[in-house]
Chain A
C-alpha cells in the first residue's frame, strides 16, 4: 500500500458535498482561448478532464479547495472560484 493510484489516494479523503458547486469552469473559454490547459496537470485531485473538442469537464465534488487551478489558469474568467458553504467540502482528519 505504499505505492498508490490516484483513485486510492482520493478514497482516503472525506468530502461533505454541498448542494451547489463552489467552482464553475466556463468550458467555452477553455475551448476557444486556452492552449495550455494548465488546470489539467496541476489539480491535485485530478478534477479537470479535457474533452475532445478542447473544452473541459469539471466536477466540484472532490475538491481540496487549494486554489491551485485558480492560480495556474491563464485565462481571465475561465474559473469562477470560491470556497464551499460553511461546514461543507473537504475535511482532513490527519494532514
Chain B
C-alpha cells in the first residue's frame, strides 16, 4: 500500500453516523485505533428517521452502563399493542409488562427522537477518541490494485485513506453499490415511511394512554389503515409528543396511486386513532425508506478492505409484529467493528480476513435472527395478511359483540361462515396458517 500523509490515513473509516456507524466507531476508538466517522448531515441524526422505539437497550448497556441516564431518551416502552383494523373497527392485542426488564433496568426498549439520540451516540464515539466529521458526503470508494483503500468525500482534496472502510450509510447504500457488493433495488423490496411528531402535554399522554409516570406505549397497526397499500402504521409515545406514521411498500403505492401523506391523514382520522391524537400539535413531518425484504436484499457483506453494516446491509426487521432496525444496526455495526479491529491486529485486510464478520454477526444474533425470519416479509406483504385477515378479525369481533336481537352465534360457526363468505379458499387458509407459523413460530 502506498503511503499517504499522516493526517489523511486512518485505521478505520466509518461512513454514516446512524446507530450502526456510531456504535462501530465507538468500539474501534476504544480499541485504541485511529477512526474517522463521516456524516453528510449538519449533525449526526439530521437526516435520520425512525418510529422510533430503540430495542437495543441491553446491547448499548454493555458499552455504556446505564446509558439511559445520560442519553436523550423519551419513555421506556412497557406496553405494546398490535391492532388489526377494518375501516371502522379495530381489534387489539395489548401486552403490558411492569416486570423485570421492561419498566426497570436495563429496559427492553425506549422511544427516542433520532436527531437527538444519534447526536448523543456520535458524541460518545467522539469522546472515546473517534474523529467525527459532519457535513461530509462520501461519493465513492477509493481502490488500489483492486482493493478498497479509502473513500472520496465530495470536497476539494476529498480523498481520504483507511485500512478498513465500514459502510453504514443506510438504506440507499450507495457505497455498497459503488463497491460492487449490492445491486439496485426493486420497488417491492422497500417501503416508504412517512411520519409526524405531534406535541402533546405529558399529563394528557399519561391519562390518555393509562401510563404510570414516565412509562411509554408502542402501537403497531395492520390492515385497512393503509387501505389497499401493503404496509402498516405505528404510534409511539414520547415525553411530550407522539410519533406516528404510516409505512407503505413502494411498489404498491405506485400501483394503487396513493400519496403517502394522504394515507397518514386517513390514519389519524380512523375512529380508533383519532381519540389518541386529539389536540396534538404538528411539530415535524418526515419521510425515509425502510429495507423491508431483510434477508432477500442482503448484499455481499465484505470485500477486500470493506464491510457493510446496518440498513446498508438490509439488517432491518420490518415484518408485521416487528419494526426493528436500530438494534440490528447497532449489533451489526459492533460485529463489523470487531472484525476491523481483528484485521488491524493482524495487519491483513483481505476479504479472507474480513470474512470473520459472518461469524461475528452470528454471535451477535444478527444473521441468525434474519435467517429465522426470512419468510416473514414476503408473507406479511401478501395481500391476504395485509387486508383480508385483519379486516376479518375486526369484523368478526364486531359480530361477536353486536347485540341486535338476532340469535347469538358461537365463535367457531361464525368464523366458518365468514371464511365461506370471503374469497379465501379453505386450502389457502390452511397454507396461510402454515406460513404464519413458519414466519413467526419456528
A and B touch in the complex (CB under 8 A): yes
Q: Footprint of B on A, CB under 8 Å?
A: 1-4, 6, 8-10, 12-13, 16, 36, 38, 41-42, 44-46, 64-68, 71-72, 82-87, 89-95
Q: Is the CB of B253 within 8 A of A42?
A: yes
Count of chain B residues near A, Cβ 8 A: 63
A/B pair count, beta carbons within 8 Å: 141
B286 touches A13 (CB 8 A): yes
Contact A3 B47 (CB under 8 A): no
- Whether B283 lies near A12 (C-beta < 8 A) is yes
Shortest B137–chain A CB gap in Å is: 4
Q: Is the interface of B mostly helix, strand, loop or mixed?
A: mixed
Return the chain A residue nearest B189 by Cβ.
A71
Interface flag for B92 (CB, 8 Å):
no
B187 CB-CB contact with A under 8 Å: yes
**How far apart are A25's CB and chain B's nearest CB, in angstroms?**
16
Cβ of A93: which chain B residues have Cβ within 8 Å of it? 115, 284
Q: Which of B143-157 contact A (CB under 8 A)?
A: 153-155
Contact A95 B114 (CB under 8 A): yes
Q: Decide if A42 touches B241 in the complex (CB within 8 Å).
A: no
CA distance A93 to B185 in the complex (A): 29
A36 to B114, CA, bound (A): 34
**One of B273-281, B324-332, B391-399 at the interface:** B273-281
B280 and A1 within 8 A (CB):
yes
Question: Once bound together, how far apart are the Cα atoms of A66 and B253, in whole Å?
Answer: 15
A91–B42 Cα distance when bound, in Å, is 7
Interface presence of B258 (CB below 8 A): yes
A4 to B43, CA, bound (A): 28
Kindly identify, within residues 233 to 291 of chain B, every residue whose CB is under 8 Å from any CB belonging to chain A: 241, 243, 250-251, 253-254, 257-261, 265, 268-269, 274, 277-289
**Cα–Cα, bound, A82→B172 (Å):** 10
Q: Determine if B280 and A2 form an interchain contact, defined as CB atoms under 8 angstroms apart.
A: yes
A-B contact pairs, 28 of them (CB 8 A): A1-B282, A2-B282, A4-B285, A6-B261, A36-B254, A38-B254, A42-B253, A67-B172, A68-B250, A68-B287, A68-B289, A71-B186, A71-B187, A83-B174, A86-B135, A86-B137, A87-B41, A89-B47, A90-B47, A91-B42, A91-B47, A92-B45, A92-B115, A92-B286, A93-B115, A94-B116, A94-B284, A95-B50
Q: By the criterion CB–CB under 8 Å, are A46 and B261 in contact?
A: yes
Asked if B195 is an interface residue, CB under 8 A from chain A, the answer is yes
* B:90-129 near A, CB below 8 Å: 113-116
Q: Please determine whether B285 and A12 come into contact, CB atoms closer than 8 angstroms.
A: yes
Inter-chain contact B265/A3, CB cutoff 8 Å: yes
CB distance from B131 to the nearest CB of A (A): 15
8 Å CB contact of B197 from A68, A89, A95: A95
